[in-house]
Structure 1
Amino acid sequence: MNNTRLQAAAKHFLQQHPKGFEDASLAEVMTRHSKAKLSEFAQQHFAPDSTATDAEIIDAMVKLVSRSSMVSMFEKPKFRDFCQRLDNMQAGFLADSLMRFLHDDQAAGFDAMLSLLDTQKLAKWSLMTIIPSYYAPQYEVFVKPTTAKGIIAYLELEGLAYKPRPSWAFYTGYRDWVNSAKQRVDPSLSPTNAAFTGFLMMSLS
């Protein structure tokens, strides 16, 4: 990683926004992309001890995706319609996949969800990572293709090769890098991992 570029980006960002993401200059952006309520929603509906039925988990997934400002307007209705077409067995498979991704065998849950979404050409990074990023915002990551590619190129990250098709190998590599790199800059730049990658995206543009 090019640490010099990371530190320069952080310095420049803090010159413009001295309090990081708590700065008044970013109030509008933070309001528009507020994660607090959606994180609370995710933690309530996808808790490890949840007694929710498969149908209730799927309904909560659709609501979270629909309310997120980070998922494109084109993907939201496609995901909703996909979930509405699921039969009971498929709904159970998707609900179980998500819960494993969040709480149990993460790799298996990720790959299972990917396989089901792939049947309808919905295996997109945004749909694969949006719910985990709300559920555990200080640990999991939201993979936005343009942001991930820009960060990898600008900071010269070795061993991370972005590909349009989601993979567990890239996800964990990107997540590990984010959780490590955010320790190198002021904490005000990383109230969540999405905010940290957002800071880098704004710096790169």
Structure 2
Amino acid sequence: MNVKKLMQAESLFLKKIPGGFSNPEMVKIGKKHKMEKMIETANEFFSKKNCKNIQVTSENMVKVISRSSMVSMFEKPKFRDFVKSLKNDDKEFLVKGLSNLLHGKKQLGFEAIVDILKTEKLAKWSLVTVIPAYYFPDDEVFVKPTTAKDVIKYFEVEDMIYKPAPTWDFYQKYRDLIHTMKSKVDSSLAPSNAAFSGFLMMSMKM
């Protein structure tokens, strides 16, 4: 990773937007994403206890994804219809995958969600990573394809190749990269991993 470029991005961003995400302009933008509300909702919906209710949890997955500003308008109705069409066993498989991803064997859960979404060609990075990003906003990451590709290229990250099909291996590497980069900049640029990714996205366009 080109640390010099990251430092330059930090300096330029803070010159243009003093205070980072505490700047009134950024606070205003943040309100559009309703991040605090989405984090609160995800933690209520997907607690270990609540994930035991398969039907309610599958419906809550649809609610969160439908309300998310990070998921494209094209993917939301497709995911909603997909969940509605699932038989009970498949719905249980999906929910148990999410429960594992959040509360148990993370790789097993991640790959289970990818496997079932593949059946309708819905194995998209956004659909797989958005709920964990809300549930653990300081630990997990939302993988937006265009941002991930640009970050790898712009900051000259070696040994990391983005692919459209979600894999646990890439997710782990990208999450580690985000944490490493986040540790090197001012805390005002990283109130959450999603916000930090927003900083990276905006800084590459400055």
TM normalised by structure 1 equals: 0.98
Alignment of structure 1 residues 7-86 onto 2, 5 Å? 7-50=7-50, 52-86=52-86
Distance in 1, matches of 2:52 and 2:113, equals 19
How much has 1:46 moved relative to structure 2? 0.8
Mapping of residues 86-165 of structure 1, within 5 Å: 86-165=86-165
CA deviation after TM superposition for structure 1 residue 34, in Å: 2.4
Instruction: Please state how far the C-alpha of 1:71 moved relative to its aligned partner.
Output: 0.3
Distance across 2 between alignment mates of 1:14 and 1:131: 29
Runs of 4+, deviation exceeding 4 Å: none
- Aligned counterparts of 1:113 and 1:47: Cα–Cα separation in 2: 17
State the distance in 1 between where 2:104 and 2:58 align.
18
Structure 2, gaps ≥5 residues long: none
Q: Which moved more, 1:40-49 or 1:81-90?
A: 40-49
1:98-147 CA distance string (max 9 Å, x none): 00011111001011110000000000000010000000000100000000
- Alpha carbons of structure 1 residues 135 and 51: separation in structure 2 relative to 1, 3 Å: closer
Asked whether 1:175 is paired with 2:175, we answer yes
Distance 2:52 2:102 in 1: 15
**Identity %, equivalent residues:** 48
> What is the alpha-carbon root mean square deviation over aligned residues?
0.9
Q: Is the 8 A contact 2:145 2:164 kept in 1?
A: yes
Give, as a single letter, the amino acid of the residue that structure 1 aligns with 2:194: A
TM-score normalised by L of structure 2: 0.97
1:50-70: per-residue Cα shift (whole Å, max 9, x none)? Answer: 365100110110000000000
Residues matched between the structures, number: 205
Deviation at 1:45, TM superposition (A): 1.1
- In structure 1, the gaps of 5 or more residues are none
CA distance in 2, matches of 1:69, 1:51: 23
